[in-house]
């Protein structure tokens, strides 16, 4: 089975800190995604990447950046954390582009910014 | 353009009774459709997917869904609910044109009473 591993289950950070959320997948998937999940809002796409060193903005990229230097790793960066970025963050990967490919999700990182 | 609407934010059933979670979609292209389940504090897990083959799709844990093009629906059903089915369920549409980025519904919380 494909595994998507998010490095932290819970994080508490202070306002203004730079925060790194790491995601690693082990099955050579081309596509990787970062979502945030908030009650009543479902999943909202922050950034995605079709391949190494490629990135595309999703629906809510403001306040975030990403890095994909290696195919298996996709990092989400909060340049200066704010309290409105308190959320559950979910990483996902997909074998490649195309409508038939589903996602494999990580277990999520619950980030609290104080 | 594509969208997905989960018609109920919460569904409450008794253990042993049938489950129906409703999903309507719109897509400019022939869509692929997915149902994911999320248990508390976990990532999302794929339940089943429709990719233009059989319209009745069977998934894990006794769930199934029927693709009805005329009704633009992809409702999730299970004949008999189990306590372990209590979770959040997401309907997802992924079009065959454009960037293939999937669109998530806002989720339906399934509550199972003993």
Q: How close A92 comes to chain B (CA, Å)?
A: 9
Predicted confidence at residue B99, as pLDDT, reads: 58
Q: Mean pLDDT, chain B, as a whole number?
A: 90
User: Considering its fold, how many domains does chain A have in total?
Assistant: 1
Residue-number span of the structural domain to which A20 is assigned:
4-113
- Strand segments, DSSP code E, in chain B are 2-6, 10-14, 19-21, 23-27, 32-38, 44-50, 56-58, 64-68, 73-78, 87-94, 103-104, 108-113
- 3-state class (DSSP) for residue A85: helix
**Out of A42, A98, A110, whose CB is closest to B104?**
A42
For the domain made up of B2-103, the CATH class stated in words is mainly beta
- Domain map (residue ranges) of chain B: 2-103
- Asked if A41's CB is within 8 angstroms of B36's CB, the reply is no
Backbone angles phi, psi at B28, to 5 degrees: -75, -15
Per-residue pLDDT of A40-80, as tens digits, reads 888 999 999 988 989 999 999 999 999 999 999 999 999 99
Predicted confidence at residue B52, as pLDDT, reads: 75
The DSSP bridge pattern shows strands B56-58 and B23-27 to be unpaired
Opening angle at CA A36, ends A83 and A79, nearest 5? 50
Q: How close B104 comes to chain A (CA, Å)?
A: 6
Predicted confidence at residue B17, as pLDDT, reads: 97
- Asked if pLDDT for residue B98 goes beyond 60, the answer is no
Whichever domain contains A103, its CATH number is: 2.60.40.10
What's the rounded mean pLDDT across residues B64-92?
Answer: 95
Predicted confidence at residue A95, as pLDDT, reads: 87
- Asked if A45's CB is within 8 angstroms of B42's CB, the reply is no
Q: Which residue has the higher pLDDT, B43 or A84?
A: A84
- Asked if A106's CB is within 8 angstroms of B45's CB, the reply is no
Mutate to test the interface with B, among A61, A102, A112 (most CBs of B within 10 A): A102
A7-11, A14-18, A84-88, B13-17: segment of lowest average pLDDT? A7-11
Q: Which residues of A touch B (CB under 8 A)?
A: 4, 9, 40-43, 45, 48, 56, 58, 90, 92, 97-108, 110
- Asked if B32's CB is within 8 angstroms of A105's CB, the reply is no
């Amino acid at each position: 089975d494909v595994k998507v591993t998010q490095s932290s289950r819970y994080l508490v950070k202070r306002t203004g800190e730079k925060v790194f959320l790491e995601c690693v997948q082990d099955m050579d998937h081309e596509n990787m995604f970062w979502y945030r999940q908030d009650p009543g809002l479902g999943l909202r796409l922050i950034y995605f990447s079709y391949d190494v060193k490629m990135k595309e903005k999703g629906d809510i990229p403001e306040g975030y950046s990403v890095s994909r230097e290696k195919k298996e790793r996709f990092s989400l960066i909060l340049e200066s954390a704010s309290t409105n970025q308190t959320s559950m963050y979910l990483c996902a990967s997909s074998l490649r582009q195309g409508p038939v490919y589903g996602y494999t999700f990580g277990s999520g990182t619950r980030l609290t910014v104080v | 353009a594509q969208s997905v609407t989960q018609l109920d934010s919460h569904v409450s059933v008794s253990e042993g009774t049938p489950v129906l979670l409703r999903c309507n979609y719109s897509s400019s292209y022939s869509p692929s459709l997915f149902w994911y389940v999320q248990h508390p504090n976990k990532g999302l897990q794929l339940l089943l997917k429709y990719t233009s083959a059989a319209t009745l799709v069977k998934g894990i844990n006794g769930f199934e869904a029927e693709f009805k093009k005329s009704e633009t629906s992809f409702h999730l059903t299970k004949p008999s609910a189990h306590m372990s089915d209590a979770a959040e369920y997401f309907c997802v549409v992924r079009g065959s044109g454009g960037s293939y980025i999937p669109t998530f519904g806002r989720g339906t919380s399934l509550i199972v009473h003993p």
